[in-house]
Structure 1
């Protein structure tokens, strides 16, 4: 009898943890009004659970009206239009991803580029009328700023023809520092959802170096198969040869200081980007990326508050 009670208590505790995990997963994507499928919820859970426990916990949440089921999607919002919005966004993303593959193949031909991947909302298979194509770029070690400068000189030209939204190159790292420094739920999901386009061996090294992602998403696998082997046309090889010397080292360091100084001025002046956020960039010899304190920190704080309120609501609902 005692052993039966213990088993029941263990089962209830396991189901409670599973329910809380499901709510936390849905809460993250709910910040973007993005409902998830059954399989997606399972992939983005922070712990591993058996299929039976997962299904039972999800059914309980639906029965308690904490989670709502529309077509093949699950959401915290009782609004069918959220499913309509996702279907529409997925359809639009298909066309943009095909475009991103073309652009990625072109960008991979720039000097010192070793890997190109899709990031941002498009990497989650979603796009709307205002969506950009965001690229995650890996460069040769100690040549990030040369690569970035070459690419951004080209990007200036895209403004002339209104194509700048297809070339959002806002996150760079180099092969000397492949590991993402910030380790949290946001960066784990961003790493896990990158769609590698060019540079198969480079992305293989990147994902191995960032295996810490599995601490947050133990069920998620990487998409290595999507990356193509990197090609090096003759002009790319020639330009790299010209700068593979002491002058190239000096120029890369100089470009880093100039660019960092310009961005620091933009941040100090509180200049806004097209989304209405203060323009900022974190820089070092081995990375150029959006400053974490201006987005990541605030996002995670918002997420944790949302989860805390949701779990309290769940506890109150079950207790009634």
Structure 2
């Protein structure tokens, strides 16, 4: 069940996996059991093997797509690191990580740089607003290389939505700036570790630190104390009001997850991929179990 779930999960993103990757992203610590399950799935025609890559559709083009995307990710990574350094210099930013497809080693012509940012407490919305203004004014609102869509603050580092999707995102983050803050983040989210007990620990020795610019220091001085706290609350209210109006097509329960806007969290995920991926994975898993009459223990994805 563990290998199948892993293959199906990444197949939702049209991303075939090697045996090593299947093992690393499974919750079964028994390598032999994983290999036996893969062999069983191959024998039953549930999955296909193309040059050591496994996927649940008979489409070798997905291998070519993956390899091309891997190469593009390697080539674009230095630029992503450069952008992250710029973000790290902004006021109140404590840690910067790459997330999304690029953090999983994939990039294509439709890709962008997704950043996961950790800020000081009670200054999250000031930090976010400054970064968004920078993108709109100086980058002409380009999202391709500057997608800052997920912020949390250091006073509440634990991710509240604890599921396979968020565990995968945590496990694949590439931390670039703010070593101490990121280590604290990992400790606060130790709940995610049992999802992938075989995955190598995130490399933290290469995480950088950087000095704030003179402008950043000046802004932090201006927004010290209660004035800064009130400004932060004001920006949160303004942003939330705008989003409620703009994304009124989302059901409240979807909005509360995809566009979470609290004192400690800011998410801008209007497509609500988290819910879509978890729902589709469960559906696909049950379809495969039924179609191939697989005799697994009764569990749900």
TM over 0.5: yes
Which residue, out of 184, 192, 197, partners 2:171? Answer: 192
State how far apart, in whole Å, the 1-side matches of 2:197 and 2:249 are: 42
Q: Return the match for 1:207 from 179, 186, 196.
A: 186
Counterparts in 2 of 1:300 and 1:64: CA distance versus 1, 3 Å = same
- 3-state SS of 2:5 partner: helix
The yes-or-no answer on 1:219 pairing with 2:181 is: no
After TM superposition, list the pairs within 5 Å mapping 1:20-99 onto structure 2.
20-49=1-30, 51-99=31-79
Greater alpha carbon shift after TM alignment, 251-260 vs 306-315: 306-315
Query: 1:298 aligned to 2:298?
Result: no
SS at match of 1:36: coil
Query: Greater share of helix residues, 1 or 2?
Result: 1
In structure 2, C-alpha distance between the alignment counterparts of 1:266 and 1:44, rounded to whole Å: 37
Unaligned runs of 5+ in 2: 251-257, 297-301
Normalised to the residue count of structure 1, the TM-score between the two structures is 0.84
> What displacement does 1:44 show?
0.7
* Mapped contact 2:12–2:277 kept (Cα < 8 A): no
Cα deviation, residue 55, structure 1? 2.1
How far apart are the structure 1 equivalents of 2:221 and 2:294?
A: 66
Q: Which residue of 2 aligns with 1:143?
A: 123
| Superposition pairs of residues 1-320 of structure 1, within 5 angstroms | 20-49=1-30, 51-160=31-140, 163-220=142-199, 221-268=201-248, 281-290=259-268, 294-315=272-293
CA contact (8 A) 2:28 2:34 kept: no
Q: C-alpha distance in 1, partners of 2:73/2:260?
A: 29
* Superposed CA offset, 1:195-215 (max 9, x none): 111111111111111110013
- Alignment deviations for residues 41-74 of structure 1 (CA, whole Å, 9 cap, x no partner): 111102321x223222222222222221112311
Higher relative contact order (CA 8 A, sep 6+): 2
Compared CA separation, residues 175 and 77, structure 1 to 2 (3 A): same
Secondary structure of the residue aligned to 1:301 is: helix
Check the 8 A contact 2:149/2:269 in 1, yes or no. no
Report the aligned-residue RMSD. Answer: 2.0
Alpha-carbon distance between aligned partners in 1 of 2:292 and 2:195, rounded to the nearest angstrom: 22
Q: Contact 1:201–1:229 at 8 Å: present in 2 too?
A: no
TM-score (norm 2): 0.90
Aligned residues between the structures? 288
Larger Rg: 1
1:172 positional shift: 0.5
Q: Distance in 2 between matches of 1:207 and 1:244?
A: 28
